[in-house]
Amino acid sequence: MAIVRWDPFRDFAQLQDRINRVFTDSYGRSGEDALMTSGNWVPPVDIYHNGNHELVLKAELPDTAREDIDITVDNGTLTITGEKKSAGDVKEEQFHRVERQYGRFSRSFSLPPTVDTTKVGAEYRNGVLTIRLPLREEAKPRQIKIEVAA
């Protein structure tokens, strides 16, 4: 038999996490996320800078048809909306367990003023939506040549 050190704070942290999940599931998200998301579920995203002077946003939208996704850029805000539909060939009473989420979704992101909103591009492949947000020319770093004074 192994000796296990009892840590009352670990048990308390687990209890707090469970209570937080109950309230989040019952009453929805809170804080800043609530202002920027809506719908039945929220697709996860990654946002990063790449080496081509652009921001890249990747959103996981598995089993979502391209026709069911809308992207808008308005007044410095990028919004992705759509709907992930459940499989119509399986009846509800046939399910034993449903863990994936379906329904309408919407995510909005405030864009920095350095993004050139006229050149935004999007691609959807293998369930991943990739949005490229190029930076304005004046926001790109410039190399400055140093003149040698005589």
pLDDT band (50, 70, 90) for residue 130: very high
pLDDT at position 139 is 59
Fold adopted by 35-87+102-138? Immunoglobulin-like (2.60.40)
pLDDT at position 1 is 62
Listed by start position, the domains of the chain span 35-87+102-138
User: Who contacts 82 (Cβ-Cβ below 8 Å, separation ≥6)?
Assistant: 61, 64, 68, 69, 70, 104, 105
- Residues 60-100 have pLDDT tens digits of 999 899 999 999 999 889 999 999 988 777 787 888 887 88
- In the sheet that holds 54-60, the strands lie side by side as 45-50, 54-60, 128-134, 121-125
Q: Is the pLDDT of residue 17 over 90?
A: no
Angle at 59 between CA 87 and CA 78, to 5 degrees: 115
- In the sheet that holds 69-74, the strands lie side by side as 37-39, 103-110, 77-84, 69-74
Distance CA 136, CA 145 (A): 22
Q: How many CB atoms lie within 10 A of CB 4?
A: 6
- Residues 46-65 have pLDDT tens digits of 999 988 889 999 999 998 99
Residue 83 bridge partners (DSSP) = 104
pLDDT band (50, 70, 90) for residue 35: very low
pLDDT at position 9 is 67
- Residues 19-28 have pLDDT tens digits of 777 776 555 5
